[in-house]
Each structure stands twice: as structure tokens, then as C-alpha cells.
A and B are shown apart, each in its own frame.
Chain A
């Protein structure tokens, strides 16, 4: 027998709002990396077994499973190992498109990380390009990657492929 509940059809959506708040614990190693950013410097850590330098380090070598205890100060410059040019707008985008997103291998590091490349036309980006970090003003430095405004070409000749081929 039809009644109001059947005549209204199936319910297709049910909203059940959930919000949870969490504390984040960077840990010992990542805290050193973040404190470095607060001073305008990149710090990594070296694995005592394989000798690789991770930046940022999470306190252990993911290859060997041992603690990384030696802090290593890294250079302000690095090499673009690979990149993409973002042309697609999306919600929450804070940078004007098109822009370059690149993996950057800092000098002295064995792990690349993602960075924004600016001060160069997007069609001129290439693998091996040498870049340097541009930091926010001294008074705006915080223990966060927001302290790095972006990377830009540092004018050095491109790096030899052999120097970064393991980090693609």
C-alpha cells in the first residue's frame, strides 16, 4: 500500500558531519628540519649504514631501518631532477597558472623533494637545471616549508645527467 514514505522515493543522500582534531608530532628528526627552515637553512640526516642523506629525515633510514643520527647542513642550491607544468585550475589553488612543480635534489642530499619554480618562463624549465631557494623575509621565517617562497634558476650550467640519474 502506497503511503507518504514510499511515494517520496528512495533517500539518496544522508549527511553525517564528522570533525576530528589531531595534534601532529614531527618527532626528533623532522623537528630539526623544521627548526632549520626557521633559520633559512636546509638540514638533513645521514644514514650511518648506507651513507645516504635524507631531507627531510624522519629519523630512520627507510632502506636499512636504522636511526639517522648525524645532522647534515645542505646547500641552498640544487638540481631539478624532473618537473611538470600545471595548467589546470583547481579549488584552493593559490598560485597563478601555468606554474612549474619540480623535484629538487639539494646539493649534498640523496632524496629529492617537491618545490615550486618561479622567475622563469614555463617553456624553459628542463631536467638538470640548477636552482636556488628564495626565502621569505627574515621576520617571516617559521618552522614550516612556507619559509621557502620558491626556487629560481641560480645561473649555473645545467648539471650532468650522471649526477642525478638515480633520483628520477
Chain B
């Protein structure tokens, strides 16, 4: 298989599990919350921690307000005898990418990737400000909702979208979530009703914002014989890339996502049509920017899971997109799918993963 001229070693999404996504899980610590997810992701395919060669996680200590939370989370995996392990201070989708690179190098044949995000422990709006330039932007404390509103305003002023479009996106995603038992916000409310919401930060009304979510997710990757042993219908990653844009918001055209378009190009997305797209668009207006950057037409089913507007566990919501897209293929609802993950303010960093059935 190849994407954009590169030879890609086939790697399968062998198993996927996610926690129930909730507004606040204040009964369990990180390891206790993660343990059932790890148990399930191994249990789905009848393996144990001893069957994987590598463990990689995505999380951030800023959510918990304590150091080395990713090390403590390893208690949920059990790392004896000593294991090969790594961590990224990014969404778990990037942890999956790191593992995938090791597969491409031929160093591993099976990996566990997981992520956890407890968004409820601090003031998320303030915490996310610390992603910004620490000298000139962060000291002004522009919160993430306000920055996203700047982006939405730019879309409206460029005649690319209306508030009604944002409401339509929110309405569809949360209606889709009715079929997703793990989702946090599930409702069937018409866009015209949503447009009666108050503004949180104009032009963003309540419905255009993601929920605050505690949750965790895990994926087992496998190649070669293990991929076939661990699933009757392997779901292959056939293209994978991630790109980022400049740190300075003022230097970007916030109405487009060239990093997503570039990642899609390198991942070989346009080599064929896709049936399903799972897009990580925490704010409603961002879905339209990403659909355009990915070059998706109206035939593509976007976010059948409900997307990040239905459940947005920080650091996990991107990994969940990949897991959800893989499940559509495994269940036979799709033959080819694309999953997208984002990180940073106003879609600064973007990852594209192309998946295909056997």
C-alpha cells in the first residue's frame, strides 16, 4: 500500500474502547478511571498487556494540576516486567502516530495506545490559555471560547458561514449522538430552536460549544500475523500524517485549515472516496472549515458518533475519532473512512488518519 508515493506498512486498529463520557467523574482517580478501558481494549480480542511490544499514551498534567500524572496512569496497565513506553503531551491521536512510526520502522508488531482527560478538575477555559505564546498572548488571558469566537466571526465576515450553519452542525451532531451510548450530550433539537440560545461569546451560542467532559480511550494496534489473529475484519491504517501551523494567531487565516489539507494530501486521502469522516471539531463552526480542508463532498457521513460536540474529553477526543471511524469499517457500514484530530487554539495542529477495510 502507498500514500503519496510512500510505502506504508499496514497496521491494523485491532481493538478500541472508551469510557462513558461524563461531565464530571469525581469518584475515581486517573488509574481507576482508565483501568476498565484498558481491560476492555485487551478483553475485546482476548489478549493481555504481555502481548504488546510498546505502550504510548497522550495526556497533560495541566488538566490534573499535578506532576507525572501519565506515570501514575501506568498503574492501570501494569508495567512489570519493565516495558517499552512513551508519552506525548498531546491528544492520544498523536500517541497513536508515534506508535505507528515505530511500526513503520519495523521495531514493533503490537502496541497499546491510550489517553485520558479529566477536564472537570480545573477551569478548562483558563487552562487552555496556557497553550498560547507565553510572553505576549497568554498574559492577556484570552480564553479558548473567545479565541474560537474570533474564528467564527472571521468565517461570517468572509461570507463563508452563518450562525444558522453553526446551529445545523450542532443539531446534527447531537442527533447522531442519540445512537452513541458513550456520548455525553445527546438530543434531537432543530437548528431554529438552538438559535434561540443566548450567546456565550458572540457569535457563538451555547450549542456551538463542546461539553466539558471526563473520559478515556484506548486502541490496540497490530501488524502482520497478529493483526489477522486478533480480528476477522482488520481495519488498516493506509495513510497517516499530521501538520501544524504557526503559533501566532494573527499570522493565520482562521477561516481555512491548510495544515489539515496538507496532512490529508500526504496521507493519500484523495486516492479514493470515503464513506465516513470522524472529524474532531470541538466548536461547531470548525467542522465546516475541516470538511472543506479534507475535500469531502455531501455523500460522506460526517461524525456518526456525534463528534466532539457530543463528548469532548480533552486529550482523548481525537483518539476516539480514530476508534469510531475504525468501528464503522469493522461493522461493515463503511469500506474507507477518514479520522481527524486537532490540538491547540483555533485548529492549530491537525492529524489525518485514513482507514480501510480488508
Contacts and interface: CB of A to CB of B under 8 A. Distances in A.
Contacts of A21: 65, 122-123
B72 interface: yes
Interface residues of A, number: 24
B331 interface: no
Interface in A61-81: 61-67
Interface of B: 25-29, 31-32, 35, 38, 49, 62, 64-66, 72, 74-80, 118, 120-123, 126-127, 130, 134-135, 138-139
A25 B118 CA distance: 10
A23 B76 contact: no
Contact of B78 (A16, A27, A66): A66
B78 A23 contact: no
Given A16-B138, A22-B65, A64-B78, A59 B31 contact: yes
Interface string A7-32: 00000001010101111111111100
Contact of A16 (B35, B62, B118, B134): B134
A18 B128 CA distance: 12
A91 to B, nearest CB: 19
Q: Which 9 A-B pairs give the minimum distances between C-beta atoms?
A: A65-B78, A27-B29, A22-B65, A59-B32, A63-B80, A62-B75, A16-B139, A22-B122, A60-B75
B32 A60 contact: yes
A105 B228 CA distance: 47
Contacts of A20: 62, 65, 122-123, 126-127
B76 A26 contact: no
A30 B27 CA distance: 10
Nearest to A65: B78
A18 B118 CA distance: 21
Given A14-B135, A16-B134, A27-B29, A62 B78 contact: yes
B135 A58 contact: no
Contacts of B76: 60, 65
28 contacts: A16-B134, A20-B65, A20-B123, A20-B127, A22-B122, A23-B121, A24-B66, A25-B28, A28-B29, A29-B32, A58-B72, A59-B29, A59-B32, A60-B31, A60-B76, A60-B78, A61-B78, A62-B75, A63-B79, A63-B80, A65-B35, A65-B38, A65-B49, A65-B75, A65-B79, A66-B78, A67-B32, A67-B35
A62 B122 contact: no
A29 B122 CA distance: 22
Given A63-B80, A65-B76, A27 B32 contact: yes
Nearest to B26: A25
Contacts of B79: 62-63, 65
Contacts of B130: 18
Contacts of B66: 22, 24
Main secondary structure of the interface of A (DSSP, over half): loop
Given A16-B134, A20-B126, A58 B29 contact: yes
B31 A58 contact: yes
A67 B77 CA distance: 10
Given A18-B130, A60-B75, A65-B78, A26 B29 contact: yes
A28 B26 CA distance: 10
Nearest to A59: B32
B34 to A, nearest CB: 8
A76 to B, nearest CB: 26
Contacts of A27: 27-29, 31-32
Contacts of B26: 23, 25
B142 to A, nearest CB: 13
Nearest to B35: A60
Contact of B122 (A18, A23, A61): A23
Contacts of A59: 28-29, 31-32, 35, 75
Contacts of B35: 59-60, 65-67
Given A22-B64, A28-B28, 5 more contacts: A18-B130, A28-B29, A59-B32, A60-B32, A62-B79
Contacts of A66: 35, 78
A58 B34 CA distance: 12
A110 to B, nearest CB: 13
Interface in A39-71: 58-67
Contacts of B126: 20
**Residue among A20, A21, A25 with the highest chain B CB neighbour number at 10 A:** A25
A63 B75 CA distance: 7
B225 to A, nearest CB: 24
Contact of B75 (A22, A23, A58): A58
A97 to B, nearest CB: 26
A25 B121 contact: yes
A63 B80 CA distance: 5
Contacts of A58: 29, 31-32, 72, 75
